[in-house]
Chains A and B, each alone.
Chain A
Amino acid sequence: MTDLAKLNIDGPVATLAFNRAEQRNALSIELLDALHVKVDQLAEADGVVVTVITGAGRAFCAGMDLKQVIIDADKGGSGKPDLPRRLLASLGRLTVKIRTLPSVVVAKVNGAAIGGGCGLACVCDAVVTHEDAKLGFPEVDLGLCPAVVAPWLVRKIGAGPARAVLLRGGVMSGGRAGEIGIADVVCPDRDSLDAATDEVVRRYTESGALALTATKNLLNDLDRSRDETIVLRGAELSAGVLATEQAQASLVSRLR
């Protein structure tokens, strides 16, 4: 079986890839479990200064795995009523783990970063993408609530802009994501993303590793990034809305 999450450590630079390209790296419970294992390894890895998170294939991460958040097995779902709740809580815990890694974390948003996928980008210390990538939080369009990732968007772009983004739903281009502060570096096209990311990574690897970690820890302290409670409460809220008939019907219609 292929690894759903691939971790490669090359000196001071680690690369963690979502590796479920055929499903646009949608977050299944299996992918999330695999990511937890790799992120735990990263937290213990000596000498890693920068971690790059990216997606295999064309997408960065398309968000929650549709088949696992639909409950009714007769309609293509999992038949496991508690699975969506577990998925969302797992995603919430994963975001806190990524945020508190000692290395600087760069999201290399190679393609679609949707919903939970965009939340995973926002939790990173820097987001690099390209003009044509699609990012956003279309949860409300599907009758869902992006509560689990909302704390990270608020910390990334501020409360006022976050309210507008989350309530308006939809997706935006990488260029627009740069304008509103979701993306920090926006290169013109997919072909230039590797070089742009390498450049960002190089700035960190040339810096003092201890100084970076101390600065990051202090920032996590000041913006309360270690507070898992708010994220898990968000996961509960997201799961509650997701279980409603309205949301389930909307998700089923998307599956067809």
Chain B
Amino acid sequence: MIRFEDQAGLRVVTLDRPDKRNALTPDMLCDLYGAFMFRGDAQSAVRAVLLRGEGPVFCSGFDLDLCQDDGPEQQMMRTFLISLSEVVKQMRRSPVPVVLAAHGAAIAGGCALLGGADVVVAERGAKLGYPVVRLGISPAVSAPFLLDAVGPGPARRRLLDPTLFDGAEGARIGLVHELVEERGEVAPRAHEIARDLASKPPLAMKATKKWVLEVAGEAKMEGRAARALDASVSLVAGDEAIERLQGLWKTR
């Protein structure tokens, strides 16, 4: 459900579960992590990555159906949160630029993936956000990456408030870097940007990405991400989260 292909210096990684709005499974997160590893020949051949989703939306978040039969320790939800944090960190570690096509919707865990990208393209009406506090889940896991992307004011607003926001608001706060009018324009534009980045001198690109992250404090990111993950994980087996998740099954 994750596929990737390398073509002329560009690695295109696709979330390919369109019938489920690309809802993430632990396997998909594991494969996604792998897609941002560059072995052997790919090490020098891949010069940019495009992350996109098949179907009507980029990604609707975790596949919560998988949590329905979870044990009292909520192992599945823990796995989701840990894997998500690892994937975003891996995307940031990627030595080449990462372009993300957030068409339609990028929600919860799907929106968290934006924190791993260098350039995000979305359409004006795309639905973005972190509505998981409604489920008694803390989106803290995304906080360090969102803070880095948009600064503490907007990050605070968007992580505490479960309301979705549109692509235009995403662009205003700096989460979306290039805004297009229509959903159908997102993929072509993201492709175009990714191809352009792949064509640029690789040493300069690699050095620049690494340096910008470094001056912005990436050395502290590992520790911040670990604290953030703890904050999210510490709640998953609590009464509030379990009751609210069970409420979700009842309404389905």
Contact = CB atoms under 8 A, between A and B. Distances in A.
Question: Chain B at the A interface: mostly helix, strand, loop or mixed?
Answer: helix
B133 A218 contact: no
A208 B241 contact: yes
A178 to B, nearest CB: 10
Interface stretch (B31-39, B57-65, B158-166): B158-166
Q: Interface size for chain B: under 10, 10 to 19, 20 to 34, or 35 or more residues?
A: 35 or more
A210 interface: yes
Interface string B133-157: 1111111100110010001111111
Given A126-B157, A126-B161, A215 B139 contact: yes
B111 to A, nearest CB: 14
A33 interface: no
A176 B138 CA distance: 31
Contacts of A204: 160-161
A13 to B, nearest CB: 15
Given A126-B157, A203-B161, 19 more contacts: A125-B157, A156-B153, A157-B151, A158-B153, A207-B162, A208-B136, A208-B137, A208-B240, A209-B240, A210-B240, A211-B132, A214-B140, A214-B231, A216-B156, A217-B231, A218-B140, A218-B228, A219-B140, A222-B228
A210 B136 CA distance: 7
B210 interface: no
B188 to A, nearest CB: 31
Question: Chain A at the B interface: mostly helix, strand, loop or mixed?
Answer: helix
Interface of B: 132-140, 143-144, 147, 151-157, 159-163, 173, 224, 227-228, 231-232, 234-235, 238, 240-241, 244
Top 3 closest A-B pairs, CB basis? A208-B136, A207-B133, A156-B153
A218 B143 contact: yes
Contacts, number: 102
Contacts of A184: 157
Contacts of A221: 227
Interface of A: 104, 125-126, 155-158, 181, 184, 200, 203-204, 206-212, 214-219, 221-223
Nearest to A213: B138
A208 B135 CA distance: 7
